[in-house]
A and B are shown apart, each in its own frame.
Chain A
Amino acid sequence: MSMVTIVDYGVGNLFNIQKAFKSIGAGSTISNDPEEIAGSSKLVLPGVGSFEAGMTALKESGTDEVVKDFAASGRPLMGICLGMQLMLSTSEENGKWAGLDLIEGKVVRFTESKDTQENYKIPQIGWNSISKPTGMEIDWNNTVLKSLDPTDTSYLYFIHSYYVAPADEQSVIAETTYGQDTFCSVVMKDNLVGCQFHPERSGKVGLQILEAFIGA
């Protein structure tokens, strides 16, 4: 049995996640087999592209229910980028779409830069820093962010037009500011964690986050 299974539901670049795990000495399997997913000890839900396409692909491949069952089992599940967004209840991307509803909340679009002084583009493509949400008492030591120094600036690689807005503010363990929005860049609820950035493409800092997930 592989330690980590990366859910293959037909979208996104899963190979770089597998290569990143390999580079930190962790074996992983890319799979769409319900039994294999259900039997793994840790699960990664990757994904790029649109919410609608991602959700449709999850349903069509029959992996949506398997992922939900896995989440309910209490074993560690990490959503990355679109994979994180799919964990929420709904998305406003191109209409209104239902997600996996593992974490209550919605997925919303960045505020446009029109009529503002600041020049920024959508999608956000590039490196941005994450920090503890202001006014919140959160200890990163018990999270996948444990190797990061909260007093230092850590940059991670983002590529997205939408972000998650969890209903429970306590589940936001890191936030990031882009343009006019300060958004949830890492969400955590019990055994579930979601990263808006790509840890597999965020240099050493990103690999440390994956290491912490493996060790969780």
Chain B
Amino acid sequence: MSHSIRIIARLDIKGPNLVKGLQLEGNRVLGTAQQYSEIYYHEGADELIYQDVVASLYGRSSLKEIVQKTSETTAIPLTVAGGIRTIEDVTDLLRAGADKVAINTAAVSNPRILTEAARVFGSQCIVASIETYRQKDGGYEVWTDYGREVSDLETIEWGKRVEELGAGEILLTSINNEGMGNGFDLELVEAVSSSVSIPVISCGGAGKLEHFKEVVTKGKADAVAAASIFHYHYCQPVNQPNMSYSSPDLRMGAHIDSGNIEFLNEGYGGTADLMVDSCSIGSVKEYLNENGVETRII
């Protein structure tokens, strides 16, 4: 291996808030995206993904402001996803400071958007986001609108198609595994990664260190994105009001008045409720390097 595997922090965002749910549902507010993005930058994240969780639902992306701020405080690539429908949307986000945009819903309803955007901005800028749901029979359906709507597309075929259409990369999210911490869907990742010649970012399922290794060695992922496992390293739910934060300045509940902040204020469930063995990005990278997967250590 002559190049490193990217370890990416994925931040699902609603308004200014970092949120996290399970299987793209039940999002709870953890803090502000801005603050977490800075932590991840300084801890060696290779890239950030901002996913606006309600953008497709409301038909607009509200991330411009926060993208702008982030691009001033971090110097790593930023991919923005959620609600991107037009060339103007792409232009706006790139001008705000995004390096890449990821498109799911709009690409499913109008595949030509990928071709058009790649022509205008270059393929390297255009990521096809694929959210997929594994059926009981093992088939994979493509879903849209942040896991709200099912399409009639089949995932492996759609993966090949988005490459032909001009996407330069695929962000592949397993809805079944997302937030669950029980590992990536290796079969899915391997199937998509082997059938395209563009890089595939695997997302959904990281719960412990070994998961990162196996999705690279067995799943052939070119990059790995994770959320809960990193977020909960800095804010842990406890069985009492207020979560336990690794640093007092991360206690942002007072500033946050929108979204589901119960989790933030009540800490219900305690750490037993966590489905991941939370850890820092740095420790994931060290583990991978010790186990034969090259990563960038800062």
Contact = CB atoms under 8 A, between A and B. Distances in A.
Contacts of A198: 77
B27 to A, nearest CB: 28
Interface stretch (B91-99, B137-145, B265-273): B91-99
Interface stretch (A67-75, A84-92, A121-129, A140-148): A121-129
A16 interface: yes
A20 interface: yes
B123 A201 contact: no
B3 A201 contact: no
14 contacts: A13-B98, A15-B95, A16-B97, A48-B121, A49-B125, A50-B122, A113-B197, A120-B2, A121-B197, A125-B168, A127-B4, A201-B75, A202-B76, A207-B75
Nearest to B118: A49
A112 B223 CA distance: 19
B20 interface: no
Interface stretch (A155-163, A166-174, A187-195): A155-163
B213 interface: no
Which label, helix, strand, loop or mixed, suits the secondary structure of the A interface?
mixed
Interface residues of A, number: 42
B115 interface: no
Contact of B75 (A15, A160, A204): A204
A51 to B, nearest CB: 10
A19 interface: yes
A27 interface: no
Given A16-B71, A155-B296, A201 B94 contact: no
Contact of A126 (B46, B72, B99, B122): B46
B199 interface: yes
B169 interface: yes
Interface residues of B, number: 36
Contact of B124 (A16, A20, A127, A159): A159
Nearest to A82: B122
A200 interface: yes
B71 A128 contact: no
B77 A201 contact: yes
Contacts of B75: 20, 23, 200-204, 206-207
Contacts of A201: 75-77, 99
Given A48-B125, A201-B77, A125 B4 contact: no
Interface string A102-117: 0000000000110000
Contacts, number: 108
B6 interface: yes
Contact of A19 (B71, B76, B200): B71
Interface in B63-101: 71-72, 75-77, 94-99
B222 interface: yes
B3 A157 contact: no
Contacts of B1: 118
B256 interface: no
B97 A19 contact: yes
B254 interface: no
Given A13-B99, A16-B97, A22-B72, A126 B198 contact: no
Give 8 closest A-B pairs by Cβ, nearest first.
Answer: A49-B122, A155-B296, A177-B2, A127-B296, A121-B199, A128-B3, A159-B124, A126-B6
Contacts of A22: 72
A119 interface: yes
B125 A126 contact: no
B274 to A, nearest CB: 30
Contact of A155 (B4, B98, B168, B198): B4
A141 B145 CA distance: 52
A138 to B, nearest CB: 21
Contact of B222 (A20, A118, A125, A177): A125
Contacts of B46: 126-127, 157
A34 interface: no
Contacts of A179: 2
Nearest to A160: B124
B243 to A, nearest CB: 29
Contacts of B71: 15-16, 19
Contacts of B200: 121
A157 B124 CA distance: 13
A126 B121 contact: no
